[in-house]
Structures are given as structure tokens and as C-alpha cells.
A and B are shown apart, each in its own frame.
Chain A
């Protein structure tokens, strides 16, 4: 994911596509859509940080409160994924619209409901990898950064994979915290870990072959596991 600096488009409020079309062909659905969009926009403005022109961390916090989830909950991350939000902690109007219109959720209530379904959607194997990779890129703090530090990686792993592969995640985090060779995790290692959870028997590790193309960090992890059995 390329990081490009986004200036918030706060000043210009782009008109929805439907209203861009000539009024002659406006149909009932598009009217409904535009209505939905209006409500979404309203929500946006409710949580928007005026000085930034987009929803900031505080806005998100209050939004979460309203929806009834913790702001560290994985579902907000999933929402961010749906929005394809670029910067962690901020939602631009475009992103907001993208996410919520995809969910067809224009009220808090609907959002609450849709979030349950969203969870299921993300869990589908085809989407999960995408979400997983997105989570990594989303957590990259700065522009040109390519790695996440160990601490954040551990937290992110718990959030994103903890419910699905609890044993692997907890052991891996234990290993990461105990070793000194690696101070950061890069994307290649991140994606390989998911593959590791999917393919390798745990905790037996009997089908792991260090001669294959697994990243060295996983070779070391397996070695550590075997030593500390």
C-alpha cells in the first residue's frame, strides 16, 4: 500500500454521484441513496473535528461509545478496512462515506447491527487475508515506514488474530518479547505468520520444515518452541 499524503478534503464537500446526474433521470432508489448519503454526511459532521476537517481520534472514541464498542475493538479496525482508511485514528469524508455506504448503515443503530455482519464478512478466507494485510499497513505510523515495532505488532496480533488462533498468537508474542534479534516486524514476516497459523500443526509443529522458504523469524520461533517444550 503506497502511502501518499492526503490533505483532508474538508473544504470541498463533493456531491454524491447520484446528484451529479441530470435530474431528469433521478429514480426512486437514487433518491433513497441520496437520502442515505445525507444521513451519512450528517453523522460525519457530528463526529468531525472542525479544525482538521475529518474525524479524529476523539471523534472516533465518541463514535465508538455511541455504537457501543470499545475503541480498541477489532470491529473498528474492520470498519476502517471497509472504509480503506489510510491513516490510523483519522477518517476522511470519502473514507467515511465509502465504509458506511458499503454497509448501508446511516444511523448508529444500523451501524451497530451491521458491525456483527461485518465480522462474519471479514472472517471469510477470501477477505481475511486482505484484512490482515490491511491491518498491518494501517498500523504503520509514518509515511515511509515499512515495519512495526515489536510491541505494537504484538498488540495488533492479539486484536486481529487472537480470537482465531489464540494458542499460536500467545506463544508467538511470548517469543517475540523474549528475543533480541528482531526489533521490528516487516510485512513479509507478518503475512507469513498467518500462513504459518493456517498450515502448521500447533503445538506439535511436526509438519514444519525449516528448509523451506519460511522467514528466519519463524524458524527461530519454532526452534524456541521446541527448546521450551
Chain B
């Protein structure tokens, strides 16, 4: 047995260890040898040759294999080294080749160089490198989550060329663009290519867009101040329009769509907004002047331009309003002067002509400026609104004490009396215009009342040209102002249509009852009270002939209906009297009352004033007016003693047998009393009732309401008919308080309560 001694054992171990160490050492040496080899290989990878377009296929393979070997080596240290080498290759290329080239060029050439360098770099160089290092990218880079090989290329480019791009490249771009703005032709393709570079680098918004917008700002700032001082308003606007078009065009062509809005808004801001006041206020060509001269093309352009800018139209709108108001007020003032001249001369006809003329002018004005809004201001609602406001200002001005409501009714009256073939404009169109104007007048109820009065006269004296037109107007008024506005007037027109029925039946009746026949041609018009304006009824002594007529109709009417009562209005009737004068027999068309006076002379040749008055039993003022119309006016059917111009109570009247006229049939005019005041009074008292009714309705609904609210609600409710005077509303409130319909709240005196 061999005894292994401890020593032996140790020796064995030592020997084992030695072996191992040796082995390790050898391995290490081998490894180091390998590493050195690899390093050599790495450093030997000839990249310089990469710049050449064509590369040897074999060389490619060699490179790829070399890299592959290094990458697959178990020792991972080299991977990191390779990665950085990869980057290094990129940077070297950029620094050694690209940058110097760029620095050599300027302007357009710089851009060209920039574009081509990038193209070459990204497509050729980078792709190749990427190819060779692909294995690394697949495993190492992915594993270590490093920036992938593709992006490394971009990153290097950006890092090294950022400043260059931002300053020199962009300067060149801006310079080029500005050249185009100044009118030269440039190479847009180049710009597009540059844009693409930035897009690929994902630096479009940060660098390109930002600098382009800044460049635009600068360019137009300078141009704006220059142009504004050199050009008139229309010229400037034309330039602006052209610029905007050009810019839009350019951006759409070369750049990304998102940039369009940014550039355009800069242009708008610099050209339109900053200098707008200066532009509008230009003395000979500014906004005011354009409106005055009716330069509609320029105004339309101004609208188009400023509608792009936020709140840009306010100024234009205001100028428009002021202009229209000024025009209207000028008309008003002019008419006032003219009218006063006629008032002094007491020339009623000319006065009325002026009044009618004013309304026609208003209508024309309205047409013109409505077309402005529709044609040039693109029917913008803001402009409609200010047009309305402007008209409301001057359409409510009285002329020599006559309210616009009355003026409009006079115009209406004339229009409906005229024959329709007169105007070049159809009557219906004129009626439409009237209703349009009525909208602007605040005292609509005043118009209604005047119109009703005039309508009555037209209907009763058969002065209306056409029933259809009357109805047409009423329909339009009903549409605009509501049913209650026209209900009475419609009733009036209906009454007349019914009259035809009644007349036919009356004729039948007379045929059936010949003894009742008065022997005259009698037409009776039955009016429904309430529809028609109230007329003064006068009882007087009818001549016997007329008495027979009245009786006949009375009997007839009883047969129709026992319930209704009729009251006779003689002041509104007309009569045709045959006057047997010596020269020739004539037909005289007179009013019923005039006829009664004349018939007195059938039984007496000469009568005194008091005789006539007593026999007729009429009030003095009526008698005076009647006699005046028959003896002192145009046709002297009665001779007056003494032959003065006015009637006095001591006058004597005689039948003028020698009276004659060229015509066989004459109308003896009977001037009507001016009942304007009465109309106005009626309206005022109706208003009081309307206000009271409104207050009660509102308070009934609300139960409790503050003073201000009540006032404003009341005004609003009534606004479609008239504009109430606040004092009157207050008065009615107080009247209601004193009649215990309302009370003041005990704690807050400005609050009202409804008392049921």
C-alpha cells in the first residue's frame, strides 16, 4: 500500500491548480489574441470606401461577416464597442463630408446641397451601414433597448446639423420664398424637397414651420407699413387679396396643409388687423368715402377680407349703420325744410306731394341698402340688424308735426287710389315696400288708425282703385303685425262686399213693393259699428224726397232683421242732383248735406242764412261750411249777398240760374274737417287701455314683480304695436294701485303684488 501523504495530496492539488491556471492563461491569451484580432478587424473595416456608389459584392460580404463574427463572440464587450463605432462612422461621415460641403454654399445652392446631402446620407451611407450592422441591431440593440440603428442615423444628422439647419438653411428658404413674394419665379420643387427632408427628420413643425411663419411675419410687417402709406384703401385691399391668394397657393403647393392656417392668419393679422383703423379712416378713400361714393366692388372686397378676421366686421358694420342713418336723416331734414315752405304758403297739395315723396325716397333707400346687404355683405345677419337700427332712427322722425305713421298712411292712401297702370312698379310691390317700412315705425297703432280712417273714406266714396289691392295690403299687414291689427279693416271691406247683396235684395223689395219706391235711385251702404271709425251723427231735417228714401230702406231692413238697429250717417253720402240752369242743365255731384241745402231752393228763390239754418236744423259750423262750398268756392251755384269770400250770419243766398261750366257733369267739392287730432286722441286713449290690460295680464301671471321688470315686460309685450311712454306705464300702475288691483310690497317699495 502506498501511503499518500498529505504532502502528496497537496502536491497533486497544486499540480491540478497549476494545470488549470495554465489552461486559463492559455484561454485568456487566446482570447486576448482573438480580441486583438477583432479589434484589428474593426478598425480595419474600411468605411471610407462606402462613399462610392458601387461597392464590391465581396467586400460587402467580408464586412458583414467580420461584423457578424465580432457580434457573435461570446465576449459581449465588443458589442458596445461596435455600437459606438457604428455611431462614429455616421458622425465621421457627416463631419468630414457633409458639413464642409454645406458650409461652402449659400442661398439656393445651399438648399440644393442640403437636399442632396441628406438624400445621399440617408439613402446610401446610412442604409449601407445599417445593412452591415444588421446582426447587431437584431440582437444586441433590441436586447439592450438602445436607440435602434435606423434612428441612430437620423439622430446623428440632427445632432450635428441642427444649428446649421435652423439658421443657414432656413434663412435660405425664407429668402427664396420672399423672392417669390416679391414677384420672381422660384424653384418650388426645391422647396418641396427641403420640406420633405424636414418631414423625414420629424423637425417640420419645430424648425421649418416655425421659421417660415416668423419669416412671413417679418415680411408682411414691413410691407404693411409701406403699402398702407402708399396706397388708397381700395388699392390696398386689392393687394391684400392678391397676397392672400398667393400665399394660400404657395403653401398648398409646397408645404404641409397645417401650415396654411398659420401663415394665412399671420398675413391677415399684419395686413388687415394692425392697420385697420388707418385703413378705414383714410380721408379720400376710407370706409366712409367708399360708402358715400357707392363703391360696391370695393365694399364687397372689404367684407370678404374682414370676414376672415375675428371681429373684423364690427367697424365695417358700424360705418354702414352710420352711413345709412346719415342718408336717412338728410332726407328727413330736406323734406322738413321743403314742407315748411309749403306750410307757410298753406299749399296743401304741394305739402302732401312732399310727404309722399319722402316715403318714396325712404323706400328707394331701403331697396338700395338692402341690396347692399344681400349682394355685397353676403346677407350677414349683423348687417341686417344695423340696417334695421338705422331705419328705426330716421323713420320715426316727424316732419313738421306730422308723425311718420301718418305719412305712411298718406302714401298708402295715394297708392291705393291710383290706377295701377301708372307706376312702372306694380301696386303690389309698392304695398310690399310699405309693409317693409312699417316694420321700422314704432307707432304702428297710429298707422293702423289713420289707415282705417282713410280706408273708410276710400271705400265709401269709391275712390279705391281695386278691392284686390286693398285686400292684399290687409293680408300683408296681418302677416306682419297680427290678426288684431287688421280685424277691423277687414270687417270694413267685408261690409262693402255684403252691401252688394243688400242692394240686390233692396232692389227686389222695391220691385215687389212699388208704393214704397221713393222714385230715386237709392244705394244704401250698411256699416257694422266697431269696424268703422266713429262718425259724428247729426240729426237734421231731411228734404221730403230723401225722407221717402230713408223710409223705404227702413221698411226693407225691418223685413230682413228685426234685431239690429240702424243709424243714418248723412255726412258720408253723395248725391247727384240735376240742376236746371238757364244756359244748360247740368248734373251736380254733391254730398247729401249739400244736396239738402240746394233742394231748399226748390221751394224758395232766396233764403237767408238763418232761414237755411232753421230749416235744416244743423249746427252753425256745418251750415257755414256747406254754404261756403256752394257759394264762395270754385263753383258758385248759389249767389251770395254780399259777395264776400266768407259766410256770415247775415248773408242772403239765391239760386244762381246763370251758373254754368264747360262740363256737363261736375263735382262740387266739400272740404272735409281735419280730424287728425281726433285720430291721435283715439290712439292715445287706446294705448292707455292697452297698457293697463298688459300690466294686469303680466301681474296676474307673475303675482309678484319688481318695478323695472314690470316696465320692461310691459314695453316688450306692446312693442309690436307701439312704443309705450314709461311715464304712462307708471301712471297706469298707480291707477291700478289706487283701484286695488295691485299693491306695493310692504318691505320693498319697488315690488308690486297682484291683488286677486
**Which residues of A does B touch, CB under 8 Å?**
146-147, 186-189, 192, 195, 211-213, 215-216, 219
Which of B138-146, B586-594, B730-738 is found at the contact surface with chain A? B730-738
The contact of A186 among B727, B738, B750, by CB within 8 Å, is: B738
**How far, in angstroms, from A213 to B711 measured CA to CA in the complex?**
10
Closest to A212 in B: B750
Q: Which residues of B contact A146 (CB under 8 A)?
A: 738
Dominant SS among interface residues on chain B: helix
Closest to A129 in B: B746
Interface residue B536 (Cβ < 8 Å from any Cβ of A): no
**How far, in angstroms, from A186 to B740 measured CA to CA in the complex?**
12
Q: Which residues of B contact A147 (CB under 8 A)?
A: 738
Report the minimum CB–CB distance from A127 to chain B (whole Å): 16
Closest to B738 in A: A186
**How far, in angstroms, from A192 to B734 measured CA to CA in the complex?**
12
Closest to B750 in A: A213
Report the minimum CB–CB distance from B490 to chain A (whole Å): 38
Closest to B731 in A: A216
- Is B707 a contact partner of A212 (Cβ separation < 8 A)? yes
Interface residue B744 (Cβ < 8 Å from any Cβ of A): yes
**How far, in angstroms, from A216 to B738 measured CA to CA in the complex?**
13
**How far, in angstroms, from A211 to B708 measured CA to CA in the complex?**
8
Known contacts A212-B707, A213-B744; A188/B750 CB under 8 A? no
- Is A188 a contact partner of B737 (Cβ separation < 8 A)? yes
Report the minimum CB–CB distance from A223 to chain B (whole Å): 11
Interface residue B749 (Cβ < 8 Å from any Cβ of A): yes
- Is A213 a contact partner of B731 (Cβ separation < 8 A)? no
Report the minimum CB–CB distance from A125 to chain B (whole Å): 15
Known contacts A186-B738, A211-B708, A212-B707; A192/B730 CB under 8 A? no
A-B contact pairs, 24 of them (CB 8 A): A147-B738, A186-B737, A186-B738, A187-B738, A188-B734, A188-B737, A188-B738, A188-B744, A189-B734, A192-B749, A195-B749, A211-B708, A211-B726, A212-B750, A213-B707, A213-B749, A213-B752, A215-B730, A215-B734, A216-B727, A216-B730, A216-B731, A216-B734, A219-B730
Taking each of B707, B734, B744, which has the highest tally of chain A beta carbons within 10 Å of its own beta carbon? B734
Contact residues, B189-213 vs A (CB, 8 A): none
**How far, in angstroms, from A215 to B729 measured CA to CA in the complex?**
11
**Which residues of B does A touch, CB under 8 Å?**
707-708, 726-727, 730-731, 734, 737-738, 744, 749-752
Q: Which residues of B contact A186 (CB under 8 A)?
A: 737-738
**How far, in angstroms, from A40 to B297 measured CA to CA in the complex?**
100
**How far, in angstroms, from A215 to B726 measured CA to CA in the complex?**
12
Q: Which residues of B contact A213 (CB under 8 A)?
A: 707, 744, 749-752
Taking each of B708, B731, B749, B752, which has the highest tally of chain A beta carbons within 10 Å of its own beta carbon? B749
Q: Which residues of B contact A187 (CB under 8 A)?
A: 738
Taking each of A147, A212, A216, which has the highest tally of chain B beta carbons within 10 Å of its own beta carbon? A216
Closest to B744 in A: A188
Q: Which residues of B contact A192 (CB under 8 A)?
A: 749
**How far, in angstroms, from A47 to B587 measured CA to CA in the complex?**
91
Q: Which residues of A contact B707 (CB under 8 A)?
A: 212-213
**How far, in angstroms, from A56 to B680 measured CA to CA in the complex?**
54
Q: Which residues of A contact B731 (CB under 8 A)?
A: 216
Report the minimum CB–CB distance from B479 to chain A (whole Å): 36
**How far, in angstroms, from A203 to B730 measured CA to CA in the complex?**
24
Which 8 A-B pairs give the minimum distances between C-beta atoms?
A: A213-B707, A213-B750, A186-B738, A216-B730, A188-B737, A216-B731, A215-B734, A212-B750
Report the minimum CB–CB distance from A200 to chain B (whole Å): 13
Q: Which residues of B contact A188 (CB under 8 A)?
A: 734, 737-738, 744
Closest to B740 in A: A146
Report the minimum CB–CB distance from A177 to chain B (whole Å): 21
Report the minimum CB–CB distance from A133 to chain B (whole Å): 11
Q: Which residues of B contact A219 (CB under 8 A)?
A: 727, 730
**How far, in angstroms, from A189 to B751 measured CA to CA in the complex?**
15
**How far, in angstroms, from A189 to B744 measured CA to CA in the complex?**
11
Closest to B710 in A: A213
**How far, in angstroms, from A80 to B658 measured CA to CA in the complex?**
88
**How far, in angstroms, from A187 to B734 measured CA to CA in the complex?**
11
**How far, in angstroms, from A212 to B726 measured CA to CA in the complex?**
11
Closest to A215 in B: B734
Report the minimum CB–CB distance from B226 to chain A (whole Å): 53
Report the minimum CB–CB distance from A22 to chain B (whole Å): 43
**How far, in angstroms, from A187 to B737 measured CA to CA in the complex?**
10
**How far, in angstroms, from A219 to B734 measured CA to CA in the complex?**
13
Additional pairs, 11, CB under 8 Å, beyond known A186-B738, A192-B749, A216-B734: A146-B738, A186-B737, A187-B738, A188-B734, A211-B708, A212-B707, A212-B750, A213-B744, A213-B751, A213-B752, A219-B727
**How far, in angstroms, from A216 to B752 measured CA to CA in the complex?**
15
Q: Which residues of A contact B749 (CB under 8 A)?
A: 192, 195, 213
